[in-house]
């Protein structure tokens, strides 16, 4: 298992490039890589989708070491499930 920083660097992306590809801010990428504060599943999903597209394989939240997510309750009183990012071509 690797950290987001390791995965990003292995993909040959700068933090700025990953921020642009995932339609998020550089500050958000920095926060995710530092692990504080936790990020939403939606933000993590956008970042992992962009990274997945770059490396050509699906990267799920549980594949990333040290990724800290908000744990929010859904409107129905149940803990929200894990988000898995899928490549559109593999579906």
Residue-wise pLDDT tens digits, 41-90 = 999 999 999 999 999 999 999 999 999 888 764 444 433 444 444 444 44
**Cut 0.85: pTM above it:** no
3-state secondary structure of 88: helix
Distance between CA atoms of residues 44 and 33, nearest Å: 11
| Domain residue limits at 52 | 2-70
- The answer to whether the beta carbons of residues 32 and 58 sit under 8 Å apart is no
Residue 28 confidence (pLDDT) above 60: yes
Q: Quick check: is 18 in a domain?
A: yes
Q: Which is more confidently placed, 37 or 91?
A: 37
- Whichever domain contains 18, its CATH number is 1.10.260.40
pLDDT given at position 72: 64
Q: Quick check: is 90 in a domain?
A: no
Q: Quick check: is 52 in a domain?
A: yes
């Amino acid at each position: 298992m690797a950290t987001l920083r390791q995965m990003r660097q292995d993909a040959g992306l700068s933090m700025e490039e990953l921020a642009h590809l995932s339609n998020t801010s550089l500050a958000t990428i920095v926060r995710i890589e530092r692990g504080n504060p936790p990020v939403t599943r939606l933000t993590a999903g956008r970042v992992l989708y962009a990274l997945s597209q770059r490396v050509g394989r699906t990267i799920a939240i549980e594949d990333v070491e040290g990724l800290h997510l908000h744990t929010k309750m859904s409107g129905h009183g149940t803990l929200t499930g894990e988000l898995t990012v899928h490549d559109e071509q593999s579906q």
